[in-house]
Amino acid sequence: MDKINKLKRAVIKEEYMALTNDVTKALILDRFMILTYEALNLDKLIGNETQRAATIGIDINMPLSYGWVYKKSEDLANELMAASSKTIRNKLSELIESGYIYERASDAYRLEKTKMYKVNIDKLRKALEESGYTYETVINM
């Protein structure tokens, strides 16, 4: 039997296009919104499981991400199917400079070059509202 490839999807949201005026930046912003919310939801799950385990005397020591995610530009380029990893890095740098995405070095893996990212949800929400758009969480989609 032939190998079946998993289909990829990239969504261009009108509101992100209005903010960035750039297809690639809009795609990057949408992807990082999804990743940030997934990380925040995982933090909630870890918190719930930590509390549950504590009631039966088990100590779970799992660090929370607080919405920070690892992402290599090569992986992002592959997921978004929109540009080269170099272009993705350049567009991501522009989103960081504009304040829509935070960037930091990894706490856990100081020698690793992969950066951590998180959407500045407050800035994004405000910019969307000022542009006449409503802020839509990933959960509402």
| DSSP at 100 | S
Does some domain include residue 5?
Answer: no
Give pLDDT tens digits for 73-105: 999 999 999 889 999 999 999 999 999 999 998
Which residue has better confidence, 117 or 106?
117
| pTM confidence score | 0.84
Structure tokens belonging to residue 61: 């020591």
What is the span of the domain harbouring residue 125? 14-136
pLDDT above 80: residue 64: yes
Does some domain include residue 104?
Answer: yes
Does some domain include residue 8?
Answer: no
Does some domain include residue 80?
Answer: yes
- Residues 36 and 67: beta-carbon distance below 8 Å: yes
Helix H or strand E segment including 20? helix 14-20
**How many folded domains does the chain comprise?**
1
- The burial class, CB within 10 Å (0-12 / 13-18 / 19+), for 86 is exposed
Does some domain include residue 2?
Answer: no
Does some domain include residue 120?
Answer: yes
Does some domain include residue 141?
Answer: no
Give pLDDT tens digits for 120-136: 999 999 999 999 998 87
- Kindly report the CATH number assigned to the domain that includes residue 49: 1.10.10
- Residues 4 and 122: beta-carbon distance below 8 Å: no
CA distances from residue 129 to 103, 106, 116, 123 in whole angstroms, order as listed: 24, 32, 27, 10
CA distances from residue 80 to 14, 36, 56 in whole angstroms, order as listed: 16, 16, 44
Does some domain include residue 49?
Answer: yes
pLDDT above 70: residue 140: no
